[in-house]
Structure 1
Amino acid sequence: MDVDKIFFKNLFKNLFTHPCLVKFWDEEVVQYGEGDAHFQIIMHEPIPKSELVGDPSLAFGEAYMHGNIEIKGSIRKVMESLFINKDSFLYKNPTYLKMVKFISNGVRKSRENVQYHYDIGNDFYKLWLDDTMTYSCAYFKSPEDTLTQAQKNKIDHILLKLNLHEGQTLLDIGCGWGELILTAAREFRVKALGITLSEEQYDKVRYKIDSENLSELVDVRLMDYREIRDQLFDRVVSVGMIEHVGKEHLSEYFSRVHHLLKDQGISLLHCITGRDGTGTNSWINTYIFPGGYIPSVPELIKHMEDDGFSLYDVESLRNHYTRTLEHWAQNFEQVLPLVRKNKDETFIRMWRLYLNSCAASFHTGNIDLHQLLFSKGPHNSLPWTRDYIYNSI
């Protein structure tokens, strides 16, 4: 009697929402659920039970990365079928609900974590990101918007929310490849500073500034936001950066933003938000974003209140991130011949799983994306309605 096989047969009985086929390592094929199978799972060898029970996310992720598990059909559909089923082993397993052990993200550790992910190389990201090299949730005004147009929409949306005026100063914490600060300088004539911990991003932004002759208005520095001294800003923006801060440093983040803003200065936070309070996924934390933590909206608002900020606007862009990830995943598959020139199959499987599982997470509501607009103290001159955002173009 194959004890491992009995274990997995019982496991698959209640794992997915949709009917599926499972092909075991001895070639036996079993259907779970009634009707046509939506996908097929092929197990070349059993996953050690102790690893699966101890950390199912990490165990399944590693098994797929290393080719011990194959998927025929849409990986995203597999993940959605898993996430939707609240009666599955994942949700009943108490270890799924616990947070992984966090390592403090000091300045040195934060730099290492960011460089681990973003310094894979500009050439790699350029293959599948849009023309602006924007690596965060886009904003689709129309289903027909290209990814490049949607990313430009997102930057315009943020800059309008910030209610910028010529001559103001803007700090972008975690500026990526610089499209936001460059656009702010071009369109609003503000003095913009972008900071990043990624050497690859820094080099690219510096090149863009010089090539567009914007050095009088735009600067970029390779530094941690906690290292900025003796400067105050009218506006502070952060897009997709606070997820790298870590749970124990959230209070420090808001305290530093408060310190960096002028009185009545405005800040916008664009970030992934969680729902279940766990804040992280151990597979992603191990292989994609070390040191990452996804805060909840109430958690963020509590920190804002503790630092005396006034909250003005909260907007969910969850569906927009689903579509953004769809574009990225499709682009990634289309450029695989180029990716394979420098990366092995384990890396490719890792990124395929990452992009598709994130799309599934946003689509099923496991995670969300919010923009939060807040100010240092009451800001009575802000427009009273959102017309200044939607009627300004």
Structure 2
Amino acid sequence: MIDPLQAPPLIGAIVYPPDRQPEALQAAFARALKARGFAVGGMVQTTRFGEDGRKTDMELTDVATGEILSIRQKLGSGSRSCSLDPAGLAEASAPLRRAIEAKVDLLFVNKFSKAEQAGDGLAAEMLLAMEHGVPLLTAVPAALVEDWHAFTGGRGRLLGADMASLWRWWGPTHLYRDLVAGVGPGEAKRVIVGLNWIMVEGPDGIGLAQTPERTAPVCRGAAGGWTGRPLAELAQGMLGWDPLAAAVGIAAANAFTNRFDLAALDVNGLDSLDAPDRMVVVGAFPGLAERLPGAVVIDRRPGPGQYPAEAADWLLPQAEAVIVTASALANRTLAHLLRLAPFARIALVGPGAPLAPRVFEYGVSVTSGLVATDPDGLARAVAEGAGARDLKRYCRQATLVDPEDRP
């Protein structure tokens, strides 16, 4: 059965030349995912060399436990036989199979080599992961790319040997779980569901999210009972498909990240990107025509000269810069929009934007939202059905820019 909340299974292979094995890259990516709360399993390799350039050892490290296993036979300096230890490799299969059984978020297999090409090595474990829908990341030498395609039946994706390529492959469908995992301790002191906006106040900040339309056919979430609950618990709502619970979840996550003392740029998100000839804006922001006169605008209810939501599939792949309304996070279109423009500079803008650096790895270059300066005034405004412009009277503009971003 297909789980609508589960990201599609991934099969990826980092392509590398013989003299540049991506072992350190794989290990760094495993550490990054593990630090963000994702369950990782499997093995990454470390090859050690002596001063003369000869291999002195090959080790596999279990990314889940840190346990190390040597897989190199000591054959002597004059031997021309393969130095790979079959017994050590067989021992490495056990943690791989445990990880597959546990349905980890990503399984690391050190590489697809000639042994796997021949059906030996860890080939059986790779095929088992694919059979069970467990996402798999490995490395393949350039000389074996065609064999890798045959092994995966063409379902595998070839990846560049850099961190940005790995994050693009991992994909923005994981962004929601990443945001939830980033919510720490603290309870909701106040939750207000207004006509236009939802506000969640935590111990150190206030988060906002756009209230879903009352006509939404699945908007049946039971309101009330949210105050006093942990922010992390409320944030789990963004992993479901009920629009009201999802919006409360986003506001709860923002209450943790959009902290009162957050250091950020005092810049409007609409001004955060240069305005190249090929700029696309998703969402009809007020005053947009004067601010960005040359931008192409996509909106669910397009006005004169604007495009409908369906045009995103044609317009975004051509864009150099994209501004996306933060409501795309709540209505679950954000992942699709980010996938359509993987090489554009993208700004996520609006009161519901999470001021969390962890969004940067998913293709967002700038995130621009609000930090409350007058909690009681903001609460009154939300309860009275205030619009986005009215909220700004009780907040300060706050913008975070990816330090790795290059115009």
The reply to whether TM is greater than 0.5 is: no
TM-score of the superposed pair, with normalisation by structure 2:
0.26
TM-score of the superposed pair, with normalisation by structure 1:
0.26
Q: Which of these two proteins has the greater Rg computed from alpha carbons?
A: 2
